Structure 1
């Protein structure tokens, strides 16, 4: 995995890791009873703020010991809120996102801009399969924000949480990695499959009329799911019928397109053990594939390796 992309900058905001100097800024809104109304805890005091800040400073990424990421959100150098992301299962495939913002920052789209950036980070950097958001059902603002960043409402749990002296309803929103690639401007959307042999080599293909080696895969047909696209492309390109139940999601990645200069690529990447029983098994190219080559990730990567494959195989 590449080095952490922090600070993370959006059109108007800077998202960075927490620092000791953020104490007063956090207290200024977490200490507000109106802000704390729908949170799990009451308003913070100075002692609570110091404790919470120390915990957040340790949350530097999902790949850190804390398995969590806590970012403050700055507008022109001033902290206006924070966004958090954390892992919720042992495999690291599922996570949860949350946010809190100063009342003065409301009404300008800052929370939406920041939360959307962290949700994208969850899928494209950390490779999460699913991200959830849970909230008090009376928190209309957070529910609306979930909808704006593409999360779908999955249910209402009635009187399921005891909070501040009363049973409260909870809303559940979620987004899947496979939801994301459908609306990304001029990006090329594809599915790709990583096929390894018994020694860990990766099967790569070169399409006719191109010079770059990549994983088998391609663009989905209209209405086709990423999984169905991946299975179909491997069948067409290599005449291999993969067992659907063994197809595992690796993640959704954004990088440069290999064969269309200047355009971004968004790839839903899967792995499959179909060729893992022997070393460099013979695989015949079909359809538009002109050449097949096994790539050993332990050796220097050839110059003609596609950007997506470099991203996946670079430690």
Structure 2
């Protein structure tokens, strides 16, 4: 098959590599425009473009996919199929209709659950036991197309957004190859999504990492894992932002102190009182400092029982 690949971040790369290793012809890669990054504002290629250039595949970087000139250039390629993985733009019907066999998307959830931009992190935050990857035919809706194949994985007790991202990214490639094989052999079954069972996984932002200590410790612990490594969960300590990287739910001394106060200091860290139980902070990062174990942090800071961590800087 003559395949167009569409993707942008690291998550997309393993699928592109699987297609490159297959018998199919990758006739072009469509990705987001290059962006400046870092203090020097150096122009950085999207990860997918790096792989495409290394393999001498033509690269297209439209500012808007609906641009008529871009659509004409894609029509001229006469693609059989488009494979889309975390591309970053909504595809209009004018584009979806170009490939002979349509557009197949790899989505990092077990649809119809967790449609949207943040399915990996929200599955952890909501305490799901499993998640996975779904291939689907794309339509004009947001992750609403007919489902094709799925692969399920367990979410481990210590799973972070980063570790689950990496786990799911390597599943997509083999699954899309199976999907394409079934398509060629005319044994691919389309299953419409049940909209009543759908949930939405909105895009992540830094503000959602601001810890509300009036929540149960279990809820906060999942937030810490789900937002690791980005945008990260955080609180404030002595007027400075304090990122929380690793934590554990523990029984908490029920002192008559407010939620968010330090109720106990242990060898491996300190315990913060929550609405239910407590949260043992095991790894953190104070504003302007490197990430460290809480035990190391305690050796350099006079943390006191009863001291409060705050949502905002007072």
Same fold? TM cut 0.5:
no
